[in-house]
Structure 1
Amino acid sequence: MATVKATGLVARSCAALLAGGLIAMLSPSAAVAAPEYSTSEAGNPFVDGWYADPDTVVYDGRYWVFPTTSKSYSEQTYLDAFSSKDLVHWTKHSEVLRTADVAWAKYAVWAPAPIERNGKYYLYFAANDIQSDAETGGIGVAVADRPEGPYKDAVGAPLVSRFHNGAQPIDQDVFIDDDGQAYMYYGGWGHANVVKLNPDMTSLGTFADGATYKEITPADYVEGPQMFKRGGKYYLMWSEGGWTGPDYSVSYAISDSPTGPFEKLDRVLAQDPAVAKGSGHNSVVNVPGTDIWYIVYHRRPLSETDGNHRQLAYDRMYFNEDGTIRRIRMEVKDNFADGNALGWRTYGGSWAVAGGRYRADRSLGGKALLDTDFADFTYDADVRLGPGNGDAGLTFRVTRPSVGVDGYSGYYAGVGRDGKVVLGRADGSWTPLGTAYTRPGPAHRLRVTAVGPSIKVYVDDMRTPKISVTDGTYGSGAGGLRVFDTAASFDNVEVGPVR
């Protein structure tokens, strides 16, 4: 059986398991081990390509993400989807919905919202970015017999085609409550509405007062509403700021009713100048049968200036005892378990992921960097040395990277098979800052902590630094990996606050 995007109990023949604003209808054979991560442990972005506005659902024990294709409006004529059994390995399902299958939709297909009911799979979407009631477009609904589609227009016209209460008809999210009532939350231009969906999921109902559209706009709302339920409470999340700007962020409210009132409690996700910018337009997913929650959202790499260069990410979402949401920290990890190196950029050498490790052939100074800008941090990685006489390790506070032995400005800490540990800085040439020795061997755990000018290098023993120096030449920059006259492989990369 399939999962419906709801919370609470549903009168079905199989057990209903709470699943992130979703009810997971899973048979024992469909159950999988609960993925409990602090972030996307195999790296963010977790899928390849420019995507935005992700919505999530769980169908038959499989996690699905339906995003906007982040291109120019004229190129946004289809929707892809991604699915995973473990939130690590993702399968791409191309063009699950196309404008060719929706007569009235021409371009700007945005913010898909998936849900299942009565054996049918529904996908709500916005199209044409209408600017007035005189234009054709708005929110439509498509239907399919399988989660991966193909989805076909279910109505032949937009479900919501006009501005009501000032809300542009975009950015829809669909939620089914415990009593079976379905709701759709939507709205751009700083206004949010909620409507009831009839049991057919393709027409709108009315509220007790006869109204079809109810405005529920909380303070600072811009777009992208998302509804889920936990502990009997209704959580409304939304995006604030400009979608192309660094101020894009996510806030939330809690209510005792699916229709509010919703009063803003806090901004829980915002850009981190060390990790990414433009973080917003989120969804949530709850691992079925647990209280493990993730926020799934898009963000823009630090070095990207094109507004459409957005990527999909997820991080753990934690709750306080009173039900409020803790502020979310975008974590940086990569254990390469997904078999790729998304987010890494290489400068010299030959790099590839194999066997759950990031492998570099022997070269004189080949580098792989993450698009980050950390100043004070703790940086960890497992390093395994291959053939060669040199060393391999971590680059940090790097700027101006290029191909070449010392083609960067920043620091490097490495270790060799002979146990020699080195620390130095580069800026076209090499300046040694310290050396030490650890046990000889091919495999080492390497850590660097940097606080202002204080730099400490740990190898194998994480309690006592092998090298401790003071050097304030470089204050911040990207973190990465490097080999010098050796082959090497890397695993369990993690960069974060000093600990």
Structure 2
Amino acid sequence: MWFSQLSSCAIGLALISGAFASPLTKQTAGARLVLDTNFPDPSFVQDPTDNTWYAFGTNGNGKRVQVARSDDFSSWTLLDIEALPTLAPWETEIDHWAPDVVRRNDGKYVMYYSGEAKEKLRHHCVGVAVSAGTDPKGPYIPNAQPLSCRLDQGGSIDPAGFLDKDGSRYVVFKVDGNSIGNGGDCNNGVAPLKPTPILLQKVGPDGFSPIGDAVQILDRDDSDGPLVEAPNLILHGDTYFLFYSTHCFTDPKYDVRYATSKSITGPFVKNGVKLLQTGDYGLTSPGGGTVCGCGDRLLFHGFCRDDVRCTYAAEVAISGNQVTLL
């Protein structure tokens, strides 16, 4: 997700205030509020030793990478933990966005995240950090080199790991083309619009050594507004599902959609279905959705107050190439 001017969010929200409902309360069906605090871009992983769930969120509440815990995926607690206590030499202190954590075969965990590049401020690279031990809470030790930068194309953000059925590992991420756009909506609303492709990078068993070149599996079109972002890839049956968000995160059109493919390298076909959108369950600008590899649960964020994106949970069902929110 593109956050280069979060301070402008209040202005954007004031302009779209008519779209807002009152602060949400917990619900028993559909989407429900689970973290009533600023916890954007949630991803999650389960500890196989005790089945505890851990969620990771964009910088906030005084932490570079936030961590929350749940025993049942319904009640979540924000932990007073800094998951990324040290920085890599390529990154600045600010902007640690959209962390995603996967478990390796050796029991350690790999965290992918977006960090601001010292080489080109206000633009970002995908960083990698590996847990010091086998505790998913960390601490995570960053690699000296980022996985992807592509600063000439706007940078690389919104990474998410994926383990395929044959044991191969991949990382999907967004090329942040709108960061070098011509202004307007999320800096990419003025023609000519920049591409914001989603790329797929195969990596080795360590979770971060690139194998071959990244391949493009999705990009924006006119129906997506200025961008596509926040990719999350899962396999259900014989179908790959790529969840993503469209439009600007401050826009009430921000949503969660998905595309499908029979091959991990695509082509991924958009179906235009909005799995979550403003107005559903009283939500405003829902996005940054992460679906469990098991295909039955989802975390995402939405505006619950001005400048505050809370985390929500929902259950989903997948049948064939269709996803339904329960």
TM-score by length of 2: 0.74
Q: Determine if the alignment matches structure 1 residue 295 to structure 2 residue 298.
A: yes
The offset of 1:295, in angstroms, is: 2.0
Q: Distance in 2 between matches of 1:185 and 1:147?
A: 21
CA distance in 2, matches of 1:169, 1:240: 17
Counterpart residue identity of residue 238, structure 2: G
Code of the aligned partner of 1:256: K
- Structure 1 residue 163, shift from structure 2 partner: 4.0
Tell me the equivalent position of 1:158: 146
Tell me the equivalent position of 2:276: 269
Alignment check: 8 A CA contact 2:65 2:84 kept: yes
Corresponding residue for residue 159 of structure 2? 172
CA distance in 2, matches of 1:191, 1:168: 11
Instruction: For CA contacts below 8 A with separation 6 or more, give which structure has more relative contact order.
Output: 2
Q: Within 5 A, what are the aligned runs for 1:317-336?
A: 317-320=316-319, 322-326=320-324, 328=325
Q: Which residue of 2 aligns with 1:215?
A: 216
How far does the alpha carbon of each residue in 1:203-241 deviate from its partner, in whole angstroms, 9 at most, with x for none?
2111xxxxx121112443521100011112100011101
Q: Are 2:206 and 1:200 equivalent residues in the alignment? A: yes
Q: Which residue of 1 aligns with 2:188?
A: none
Structure-2 separation of matches of 1:239 and 1:125: 17
- Checking the alignment, whether the CA contact within 8 Å between 1:66 and 1:80 is kept in structure 2 is yes
Instruction: Report the counterpart of residue 80 of structure 1 in structure 2.
Output: 66
Q: Distance in 2 between matches of 1:232 and 1:201?
A: 23
- d(CA) in 1 for partners of 2:311, 2:160: 18
The yes-or-no answer on 1:139 pairing with 2:126 is yes
Among 72, 89, 98, the alignment partner of 2:75 is 89
Residue of structure 1 equivalent to 2:116: 128
Paired residue type of 1:222: V
- Does structure 1 residue 185 correspond to structure 2 residue 188? no
Picking from 48, 53, 57, the partner of 1:67 is 57
Aligned equivalents of 1:269 and 1:258: distance in 2? 24
Distance in 2 between residues matched to 1:120 and 1:57, nearest whole Å: 12
Q: Which amino acid aligns with 1:194?
A: L
1:313 corresponds in structure 2 to 312
Cα contact 1:183–1:196 (8 A) shared by 2: yes
Task: Pick the structure with more strand per residue.
Answer: 1
CA 1:52–1:115 in 2, change beyond 3 Å: closer, same or farther?
same
Q: Which runs of 5+ in 1 are unaligned?
A: 1-36, 207-211, 330-499
> How far is 1:99 from its partner?
5.8
Q: Residues 122 and 273 from structure 1, CA distance in 2 versus in 1: closer, same or farther, beyond 3 angstroms?
A: closer
Structure number with the higher helix fraction is: 2
Identity percentage of aligned residues: 26
Any idea what SS the aligned residue of 1:316 has?
strand
Could you say if the C-alpha distance between residues 86 and 200 of structure 1 is closer, same or farther in structure 2, counting changes exceeding 3 Å? Answer: same
Residue 167 of structure 1: how far off its partner (Å):
6.1
Provide the aligned length of Structure 1 versus Structure 2.
268
Question: Do the aligned partners of 1:238 and 1:250 also contact (CA within 8 Å) in 2?
Answer: yes
Match of 1:249 in 2: 255
Q: For residues 279 and 102 of structure 2, what CA distance do their matches in structure 1 show? A: 32
2:100 aligned partner: 113
Letter in 2 for 1:262: F
Q: 1:257 to 1:278 in 2, by over 3 A?
A: same
- Structure 2 partner of 1:259: 265
Matched residues in 2 for 1:49 and 1:197: separation?
34
TM-score of the aligned structures, taking structure 1 as reference length: 0.50
CA contact (8 A) 2:234 2:292 kept: no
**Which is higher, the Rg of structure 1 or of structure 2?**
1
Q: Secondary structure at the match of 2:244?
A: strand
- Gaps of at least 5 residues in structure 2 are 1-27, 178-195
Please give the per-residue CA displacement for 1:277-297, whole angstroms capped at 9, x wherever unaligned: 11001101266xxx7x12210
Answer yes or no: is 1:148 the counterpart of 2:137: yes
Instruction: Name 1:340's counterpart in structure 2.
Output: none
